[in-house]
Chains A and B, each alone.
Chain A
Amino acid sequence: MRHFTTIVTSNNLVCENFYEMVFSWKTDEKPPRPGQFFTILASKNTVPLLRRPFAFSGFNVKTGNASMIYKKCGTATEILSKKLYKDHIDIIGPLGNSFVDYDLGINNILISGGAGFGPMLFFKNHLIDIGKKVLMITGARTSAQIPQNARLDPEKAITICTEDGSEGFCGTVIDYLKSQPEKLFAGAMIFCCGPVVMLKACHDFASSLNLECFVSMEQVMACGVGACMGCAVNITGAGQFARVCTEGPIFNSKTIAWT
């Protein structure tokens, strides 16, 4: 990990309330891997005070640019959404573990919901680059909340689900999974990022078919580097916790104590 200041390359709206920020990875630190995250200081003022964690949505080896797709949902992301080309940003990263730290399957099913889209897009592109079979399923309430990156995917490997049926499959990502023939999941590994309700549903679905499932967990964070113990999540075993920033954010879903 490194702490560095870099510049914004672009920062565009990709769907309702979602932005994609591309920034120069101007550091000698190794490039980020899918599932990893970084923290960004939105402002030098004391409101908002803490750095905010975001997952990488991509890294372009040719340009040396990293990116994130984030949802404007509070003071910090409101400030970030106004950053312009060449504005300076303060980054610490890359942080946490990666999906690729786990053994990948021959058949990889990636599921994202809401702001979980970015890291899954990064992982999907990585899997295609290394020649792995991949199906990505992304869900939102309505078509306007699906990042345009899903439709512009050159490999056409992203299945869109909307709860109101305005685009793609009508229903949640879980409804979609359940609507598919079991043979689609033969030897599959499931990877998910999104709201915790969706993660649990994916875990339950994977368990019912005896599939391995990996989830990207989210928690409020202060330091992001393992020092403050603030970003704990419950893991299996009495009174046990793991730090999302250090032991995670990617966990085997069996290790999470779902409530």
Chain B
Amino acid sequence: MDLTITIGSKQLKNPIGVASGTFGYGSEYEQLLDFSAIGAIYTKAVTALPRQGNDIPRMVETPSGMLNSIGLANVGVESFCKEKIPYLSKLPCAIIPNIAGSTPEEYTVVLERLESCIEIWGYEINVSCPNVKHGGMLLGTDPALVEKLVRKLRDKTRKPVIVKLTPNVTDITEIAKAAQNSGADAVSCINTLVGMVIDVKNKMPVLPGKNGGLSGPAIRPIGVAVTYKVSRAIDIPVIGIGGIMNADDALQYLLAGAWAVQIGTGNFINPSISREVADGIKSFCELEKITCIKDLHQFLA
């Protein structure tokens, strides 16, 4: 069984990753996960300057899910390179920073600084965060803006560029095609869905920014459907994300057309879930005599 996958010019040893925003900078889970079991860590989003994040409270649990409004709280690219990369670079898996910004220029500044860190495997471009007033999802809902931004970033690196898509659009395939046309090596989908929870007693939204991003098993069927649709609309690999809680959930994404998956909210419930998913996929494939990830794509028309 060969679990390796190719994205752009590089390979990942297996298709399991931990999603940006749910795994900090890796060290937080040092005592809870054997990193050699996973293919990649998609780090907490990195912006040009440190960000404190949104007002509190920042999260609320929902039926089979959670709504968050963290607001890209992060240490900024300089501290990321100086303080986080030395640790991350020792880990036995690929390091994929998630790049975010308020303007296209900010994304460029971050990527250019990260290019000096040879340990970085590739980049995930976050054009889908629903919890910031500028950039994020606002960029990611316009195909022309996505194409322009990704082309600019593509020109500045030879490392794999993955574009993380928002499902909060009418036709996600338009955005995926824009990413492909501008030279992206893969797309990851989906980021969180915009949601709101209202405290009836106080007659106010629970989150100060009113909306948050919905994640967890509640959104898995949406993620699988989007993965199925996008994987048929573009030729570059799709990385499936949304509500994966076990190997069968991850296999749904792979059968739908994904080449890889990311586990997000599931890490909060079971920090070693990604190892268990990796083991489960391997067992399934051995049992079903599937020799590589591509073989999983043959079943659904």
Contacts and interface: CB of A to CB of B under 8 A. Distances in A.
Contacts of B23: 227
Count chain A CB atoms within 10 A of each CB in B57, B63, B265, B269 and give the residue with the most: B269
Contact of A48 (B59, B61, B270): B61
Chain A interface size, as a band, is: 20 to 34
Given A50-B61, A227-B23, A241-B73, A41 B269 contact: yes
Interface stretch (B26-34, B76-84, B141-149, B170-178): B26-34
Given A41-B269, A92-B32, 11 more contacts: A46-B217, A50-B268, A51-B268, A92-B271, A219-B56, A222-B59, A223-B267, A223-B268, A227-B29, A234-B56, A241-B56
Count chain A CB atoms within 10 A of each CB in B28, B29, B73, B218 and give the residue with the most: B28
At the interface, is chain A mostly helix, strand, loop or mixed? loop
Contacts of B61: 48-50, 220
Contact of A227 (B28, B65, B269): B28
Contacts, number: 98
A41 B272 CA distance: 14
B280 interface: no
B171 to A, nearest CB: 29
Contacts of B270: 3, 41
A49 B217 CA distance: 9
B291 interface: no
A230 B68 contact: yes
B24 interface: yes
Contacts of A246: 28
A127 interface: no
Given A1-B31, A92-B271, A228 B57 contact: no
B64 A49 contact: yes
A240 B216 contact: no
B224 to A, nearest CB: 16
Contacts of A3: 32, 270-272
Given A46-B216, A92-B271, A223-B268, A228 B60 contact: no
Contacts of B229: none
B29 A225 contact: yes
Interface in A34-56: 41, 46-51
